């Protein structure tokens, strides 16, 4: 059976979608890692400082140390209220979903020769819509995370051994 020009274009769109998933998932993983470090710095360490300062005041150290505890506690409370750690979780979840989608796209590319043009077009449209739903769930991330993902992909660190 001869492969139509439309079929070839749909398979090419699958390849593009595969690359989109790959780049976006790695970008999100890099952003999640950075957001997690930020959350650690803005929540965990001020909480430790607050606890140590409060403990020192309890041991009859100068009461001015209590001000340090109060300021550090305010930073922790504000960061927690603003959901500093939730962004990292959201990015990591989206990156995982994109990885799963990338595997689905690869499977559909391998099965494409068994589908007619209409069925393949429907599949590609569904996969592209799924990609759009995942990507729109998060706000844009910095270009530096995309650059990091691009370096990783160009170094072929994620390719399977043949």
Residue with tokens 């043009």: 117
Mean pLDDT for all residues in the chain: 89
Whole-prediction pTM value? Answer: 0.76
pLDDT > 90? residue 114: yes
When pLDDT is cut at 50, 70 and 90, the band that residue 160 belongs to is low
**Residues 55, 70 contacting (CB under 8 angstroms):** no
> Sign of the C-alpha dihedral, residues 98, 102, 103, 107?
positive
**Residues 20, 104 contacting (CB under 8 angstroms):** no
C-alpha distances (whole Å) from 59 to each of 45, 63, 88 are 21, 10, 37
**pLDDT (mean) for 47-54:** 90
User: Which residues, other chains included, contact 99 with Cβ-Cβ below 8 Å and sequence gap of 6+?
Assistant: 21, 25
When pLDDT is cut at 50, 70 and 90, the band that residue 2 belongs to is low
pLDDT > 50? residue 162: no
Closest C-alpha among 140, 137, 127 to residue 27: 140
Tokens of residue 89, six digits: 């979780």
Tokens of residue 9, six digits: 């274009």
User: What 3 state SS string does 38-80 have?
Assistant: HHHHHHHHHHHHHHHHHHHHHCCCCCCHHHHHHHHHHHHHHHH
Neighbours of 159 (CB within 10 A): 8
With a pLDDT cut of 70, the percent of the chain lying above it is 96
pLDDT > 70? residue 92: yes
């Amino acid at each position: 059976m001869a492969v139509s020009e439309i079929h070839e274009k749909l398979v090419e769109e699958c390849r593009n979608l595969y690359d989109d998933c790959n780049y976006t998932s790695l970008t999100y993983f890099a952003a999640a890692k950075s957001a997690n470090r930020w959350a650690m710095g803005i929540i965990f360490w001020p909480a430790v400082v607050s606890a140590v300062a409060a403990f020192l005041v309890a041991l009859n150290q100068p009461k001015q140390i209590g001000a340090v505890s109060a300021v550090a506690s305010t930073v922790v409370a504000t960061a927690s209220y603003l959901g500093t750690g939730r962004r990292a979780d959201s990015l990591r979840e989206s990156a995982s979903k994109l990885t799963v989608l990338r595997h689905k796209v690869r499977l559909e590319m391998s099965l494409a020769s068994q589908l007619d043009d209409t069925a393949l077009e429907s599949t590609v449209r569904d996969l592209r819509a799924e990609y759009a739903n995942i990507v729109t769930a998060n706000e844009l991330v910095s270009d530096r995370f995309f650059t990091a993902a691009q370096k990783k992909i160009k170094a072929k660190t994620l390719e399977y051994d043949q």
